[in-house]
Amino acid sequence: MKRKGISSQSRLLHSALIQRGVEANIEKWDNHKHVDISIDSAGLYLEIDGDAHYLSAGSIMRDLKRDYYSTEDGFDTLRIPNYIIDSNIDAVADALSEVCRLRYSGRK
């Protein structure tokens, strides 16, 4: 499947996380797939997904397989629909920065 590039929602969330002091990488290659946003210190991958990820059995199966490899590598994957970023960017970024803070302190 050809990669379509970084979505505007991924860019918005990445920027919002950076503004909150979260060390986040956009479009990271993890040796299995490209990850929309990676927060290594918290062991967290963020995938910002459009409708197609939820409406096709094939897409769902591919995502499950990708998430399995992430888990094997010690990362949890949180999938966030585009429309959530469009309508609630600040609340999502605030919640994720708190999650990152909690996870970071637990990983030390």
Q: For the segment 35-90, what is each residue's pLDDT rounded down to a tens digit?
A: 999 999 999 999 998 888 888 999 999 989 988 989 998 999 999 999 999 999 99
Domains in the chain, please, with CATH?
8-100 (3.40.960.10)
Strands 76-81 and 44-49: parallel
Sheet (strand 44-49) strand order: 25-29, 34-39, 44-49, 76-81
Q: Are 93 and 17 in contact (CB under 8 A)?
A: yes
Phi, psi angle pair for 75, to nearest 5°: -120, 135
List beta partners, residue 101.
none
Angular region, 76: left φ>0, alpha ψ -120 to 50, beta rest: beta
Q: What is the pLDDT of residue 74?
A: 92
